[in-house]
Amino acid sequence: MITIKTEKEIKVMTEGARILAGIVEELKKRVRPGITTKELEKLAESLILKSGGKCNFKGEDNFPACICTSVNEEIVHAVPSERVLKEGDILSLDLGLLWKGLHTDMAITLPVGKISFEAQRLLRVTKKALSRGIKKSKVGNTFGDIGETIQRYVESQGFNVVRDLCGHGIGRKLHEDPPIPNYGKRHKGPKIKEGMVFCLEPMVTMGDYRIKKGKDGFSFETSDGSLSAHFEHMIAITKKGPFVLTKLP
């Protein structure tokens, strides 16, 4: 069932999302060649706890960390480790926090030092796909309209969207209905209504869209080892249109 949030709940989720976005900004400053993903995990946990929030990823489906640190062919859910980031890598940071009983969630993919032109283009296209999906998130449209818009743009740029992973509703639980694929058909799926809050998160691959389980038991990787990027925002639906909660004012 898709829940409709009250104005009070959206206000609380906005507070938490702004705190989360601020933490992501701090993490971005630390991403560079030579740092380990575990160091980023320790910093993220410290910042989340200092904010008064709680790590909502830790323990979700037995996940052992506060953030996901997916590198290169890893799409999502990679566990932080002693892996050292190298010049030319791309790193997806996916994290959330629980704030006053309500969940927040966002993701961003970052270059590690200087990256290839094609990797830069992958990041740019994935970010723009998210922006286009957000613009379609209006009362009266459907979730199929969002997925079709994202898929059509990504494929027009020569990339692919992952089919087996998707966005989601969010609120009292980290993952709520509806599942929101990054592909679809116009006018299909549930209609978007005022008061819905959900996460859009295009996951885009440079090669094949098929995936496989990673060695850490939690991550998913591209089946062909190609690069993958991931961007995610939390959206609240208002009469005036989509309101991005995880964007700093």
The yes-or-no verdict on residue 56 having pLDDT over 80 is yes
Residue ranges of the domains in the chain?
A: 7-244
d(CA 235, CA 246): 8
pLDDT attached to residue 248: 87
Rg of the chain's alpha carbons, rounded to an integer? 17
Q: Return the SS3 of 238.
A: strand
Percent of the chain with pLDDT over 90: 99
What is the average pLDDT value for the chain, to the nearest integer? Answer: 98
Contact between residue 45 and residue 197 where contact means Cβ atoms under 8 Å apart: no
* Residue 66 amino acid letter: C
| Residue 71: strand pairing partners | 91
pLDDT tens figures, 21-38: 999 999 999 999 999 999
pLDDT tens figures, 193-234: 999 999 999 999 999 999 999 999 999 999 999 999 999 999
pLDDT attached to residue 249: 76
CATH of domain 7-244: 3.90.230.10
